[in-house]
């Protein structure tokens, strides 16, 4: 333990040569007596004698203690760089694995990454994935775009791996639909998933699926259940009206799902590729029936317990709402 502590202190001394570094060191009584006796002979204080003896211990055939400190600094710098290379390599291989797990037409690979980034061979990208070299910040930005992950997470280890935003339903139903169907800078929206948590509260998360393995998580405050208050009733009503509009005009662009609680949590945490998670599910038509009395009245509890009662309560809320009751979707 003493040796490790001394090395650690020397390491920091190497960084701050202009200042003395103070630390406490436990030593045996016998060693203190030896230092005390030596200080009497040399005329130095006990502290000065201990420092002198420590400095002399680094002198030898390889140079002074300053050189030893520089060697230690280089050693730790190399390990810190190695740790960063390993961290980046692990992230890149994780992203590649996540992209491969999606149901994509093109199977991603290191060679496809190299081609997408404009390289004539895979050598450079292989070095990144195997932890031999570090991509530049510009290259990290391109890699983040390719994999659809967060640049700050990839480059600086900040935030979550994948993008998550909040979405609030407003009174303008057409604007709700436009916002949900709006693409990003690179891709149009391929599908919009409305994923209800398979719990009593029925929390809702929305996933925008762009191209291939690119997606965006939208966290909503909507609960698709009867476990809501006044504010929750309005959010649920706005959702159902937006779904009605989307079903009438953009049915090919939307999908419904009832997801397991673990998968819902993965989506909310944004630590896994959302397209990989949602690709496991087939379309569930609850999004087409929640606003349609002719459908929800026939299906009773076919989706979840309390389904039909929730739909009736939702319809009554809309009809009694001063603003929502006037919204007409033809």
pLDDT in tens, 238-248: 999 999 999 99
> What's the mean per-residue pLDDT of the chain?
86
Q: Is 254 a domain residue?
A: yes
Say yes or no to pLDDT of 318 above 90.
yes
What's the pLDDT score for residue 75? Answer: 52
Q: Is 196 a domain residue?
A: yes
Q: Of the candidates 97, 126, 156, which is a domain's last residue?
A: 156
Say yes or no to pLDDT of 9 above 50.
no
Q: Of the candidates 128, 156, 184, which is a domain's last residue?
A: 156
What's the pLDDT score for residue 158? Answer: 95
Q: Determine the structural domain holding residue 120 and report its residue range.
A: 89-156
Average pLDDT over residues 23-38: 75
Q: Is 64 a domain residue?
A: no
13 in Cβ contact with 68 (< 8 Å): no
- Token pair, residue 59, equals 């002198």
pLDDT in tens, 288-311: 999 999 898 887 778 999 999 999
pLDDT band at 219 (very low <50, low <70, confident <90, very high): very high
- Which residue in 303, 159, 330, 190 sits closest to 254, CA to CA? 190
- Give the whole-angstrom CA distance, residue 258 versus residue 180: 19
Q: Which is more confidently placed, 2 or 202?
A: 202
- Beta pairing partners, 166: 219
Q: Of the candidates 132, 156, 180, which is a domain's last residue?
A: 156
What's the pLDDT score for residue 83? Answer: 79
Say yes or no to pLDDT of 82 above 70.
no
Average pLDDT over residues 240-261: 98
Average pLDDT over residues 46-66: 68
Question: Domains in the chain: how many in total?
Answer: 2
Whether residue 135 sits in one domain with residue 284: no
Say yes or no to pLDDT of 76 above 70.
no
Percent of the chain with pLDDT over 70: 84
């Amino acid at each position: 333990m003493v040796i490790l502590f001394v090395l650690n202190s020397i390491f920091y001394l190497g960084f701050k040569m202009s200042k003395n570094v103070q630390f406490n060191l436990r030593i045996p009584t016998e060693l203190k007596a030896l230092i005390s006796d030596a200080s009497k002979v040399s005329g130095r204080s006990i502290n000065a004698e201990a420092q002198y003896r420590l400095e002399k211990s680094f002198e030898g055939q390889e140079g002074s203690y300053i050189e030893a400190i520089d060697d230690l600094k280089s050693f730790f710098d190399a390990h810190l760089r190695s740790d960063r290379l390993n961290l980046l390599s692990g992230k890149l291989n994780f992203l590649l694995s996540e992209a491969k797990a999606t149901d994509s037409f093109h199977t991603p690979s290191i060679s496809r990454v190299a081609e997408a980034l404009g390289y004539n061979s895979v050598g450079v990208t292989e070095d990144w994935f195997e932890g031999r070299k570090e991509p530049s910040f510009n290259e990290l930005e391109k890699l983040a775009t390719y994999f659809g992950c967060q640049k700050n997470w990839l480059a600086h280890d900040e935030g979550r791996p994948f993008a998550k935003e909040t979405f609030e339903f407003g009174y303008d139903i057409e604007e709700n639909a436009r916002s949900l169907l709006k693409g990003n800078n690179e891709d149009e929206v391929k599908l919009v998933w409305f994923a209800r948590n398979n719990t009593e509260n029925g929390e809702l998360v929305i996933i925008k699926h762009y191209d291939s393995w690119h997606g965006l998580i939208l966290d909503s405050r909507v609960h698709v259940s009867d476990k809501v208050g006044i504010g929750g009733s309005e959010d649920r009503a706005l959702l159902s009206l937006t779904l009605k509009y989307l079903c009438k005009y953009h049915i090919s662009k939307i999908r419904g799902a009832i997801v397991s609680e673990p998968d819902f949590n993965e989506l909310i945490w944004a630590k896994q590729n959302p397209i990989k998670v949602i690709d496991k599910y087939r379309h569930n038509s609850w999004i087409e029936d929640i606003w349609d009395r002719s459908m929800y009245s026939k299906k009773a509890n076919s989706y979840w317990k309390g389904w039909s009662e929730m739909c009736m309560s939702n319809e009554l809320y809309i009809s009694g709402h001063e603003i929502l009751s006037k919204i007409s979707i033809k």
